[in-house]
Amino acid sequence: MSFFKRSCLEEIKLKVSIVDVVAPYVTLKQTGSYFKGLSPFNHEKTPSFFVHPDKNFFKCYSSGNSGDIFRFIQLKENLAFPEAVEVLANRFNIPLEYEDGQDKESMSERKELFDIHEIAAEHYRKAFLADTKEGAWIRNYWEKDRSFLLNTAKEYGVGYAPLDGRDLLNELLEKKFSKEALTSCGLFYTGKGNNRPENWHPRFQGRLMISIKDIQGRVIAFTGRALEITPEKDPARDAKYINSPETPLFSKSHVLFGLDNARQHIAQENHFLLVEGQLDAIRCWEKGLKTAVAPQGTSITMEQMGLLRRYASNITCFLDGDRAGKKAALRMLPMAIKAGLDVQFLPLKEQEDPDAFLSSYPKDDIKAYLEKSVISAMTFAIGMYFPKDRTLTSREKTDGIEQLFEIITCTNSAIMQDEYLDEIYRLTHINRQTLQADFQTFKRNKKIQNEPENALYTTAKEVINTDSGNNEKLTTVEYQLLLLILNQEEIAKKIAEVVNPDWIMSSDLYGTLLRRVLAEIREGEWDGSDKMNDLLENDAERDIIYSLLLDDLPFDEPKRTANMCIKQLYKQYIHARRDQLDQRIANLGNGEQEEVINLQNERVKLRKALSAAPAIK
């Protein structure tokens, strides 16, 4: 994670106009002080997308999206915040500065590593297309042996690592890259403490090369596939595939092959196609299945599932039909459900893989066939635990049901759990009431097992749920005070001087944001609504604030409105305090008369306080 200096972020926001950021994506028409156009997030005929250059943010009424320049790039390019910052900095030639915790030398080395990988990718690509004996051999292998189109290799940067790997090293040395970067890039076997490049050996020789890219499309690593011509002296000669090692750019468990390509098509397809290998993914792309991605090996990780969930809520699992492929699919299912993904499966016959399967189908027929062939996650899991080709013992049935229950409990949704149970009932014909009873018992036992280690977590979660205010009607008082503070800077400090944060009884987002803003003002940390983004913690908060900033003030007399809101907020607080006192009095026994009198006196004071609501001047 990159931590940018706040001054750097402010410089980008100051130098980069929201109009310039949006213009490549939307045809904008100026109307007075703002611009409008068709939504870049939804299909529409009437413009509902507005850009406000004076406040440097946008609002899309058809999708509900709103935000600043960073938020727009995040939404449009499906990027995390740090990646959006880097995109804008690169696009507008603004140097990035990092917090002191980020080593400047390491950031410089990262730049070198990106450059090294880009040069290496181009080197491999040229070798693949070269008019040489090796170039002719690898193209013949690609087109004849693997049945890929040559244009596919060109489009997706497939390359070839020549038998003599010294040329790449010499090219990089000529370009004066540091030895530290060349040592850590993973392209060479350097040996411990060996600083003499003449003794280094290329990691990839005589292999088909596939570039691994980050979400922004930058090459960060490679996979090399062994060939007949891979030299015997290659230390990894027996490995069919070898990857770059872990480097400052590449962590195998945090990267999905093809995600940079697939995310560009996710809006049209609305689901990812998860395959096992990189060549499977490339085959899918060639056949028009543009949202295919692959982990770096068969075992997908929770981090990779989280990456997919960032861009879509649906995945279709298209793994090998052999036992290993099916087991890999079964392992990933609980992770996918925990990540909030809706999963479907495309079953293949034993010994069949997506590459071979797709090669045998005409491109125009593929999508229609796959859409007809998908099965649900639970249907797939039931097929694994309740195979139709043999009769199961009672013990095997019980074990199978418990495994299915384990999968079902990966979701907290009672509706989803019920649908899963219905599917088990339909496909196994086990009595529905028995299933329900056994499932409730399973959940109780699971809860008891986890209680000691999860007690603190459960308590915290219950507190969060209690305070979330999901069922609470939004109050207008907090909304109006926020509206005034954000749009009337001259009375914002006056409101903060008068309003006690304890008066804000609402636990909804408006109440939470009002408390936070008031605290900033009272502590002297408030820099005005232009810096509001620094206080926001999630997208829901951002949507509220940007909507408030866009709202026209509906008040002719802002100060009078502020005092009316303050009075209402104060009254709500007094009434709540009085109700608490009434409850305490009701709970006291006959022997606690003195305490009753004290509480009643306090209640009288509260009643008198109702007529003395504070106000700003």
pLDDT tens for 26-38 read 888 888 888 999 9
Amino acid of residue 209: M
List the chain residues with pLDDT less than 50: 1, 103-104, 452-475
> What is the model's pLDDT at position 140?
97
> What is the model's pLDDT at position 496?
85
> What is the model's pLDDT at position 100?
58
| Domain pair 6-91 / 476-609, same fold | no
The CA-based angle 306-334-339, given to 5 degrees, is 25
As assigned by CATH, the class of the 104-250 domain is alpha beta
> What is the model's pLDDT at position 339?
86
d(CA 521, CA 492): 8
Q: In the CATH hierarchy, which fold is given to the domain comprising 6-91?
A: DNA Primase; Chain A (3.90.580)
> What is the model's pLDDT at position 531?
58
Q: Please, what is the angle between helix 414-428 and helix 432-467, to 10°?
A: 170
d(CA 139, CA 145): 9
Rounded to 10 degrees, the C-alpha dihedral 122/127/128/129 comes to: 90
Domain locations along the chain: 6-91, 104-250, 259-373, 394-456, 476-609
Which tens digit of pLDDT belongs to each residue from 335-371?
A: 999 888 999 998 888 777 788 888 877 788 888 888 8
Query: Tell me: domain 259-373, CATH 3.40.1360.10, correct?
Result: yes
Q: 476-609 — its CATH code? A: 1.10.860
User: Residue 241: beta bridge partners?
Assistant: 225
Longest dimension (CA), the chain: 103
> What is the model's pLDDT at position 473?
36
Q: Which residue's entry shows tokens 């949006």?
A: 22
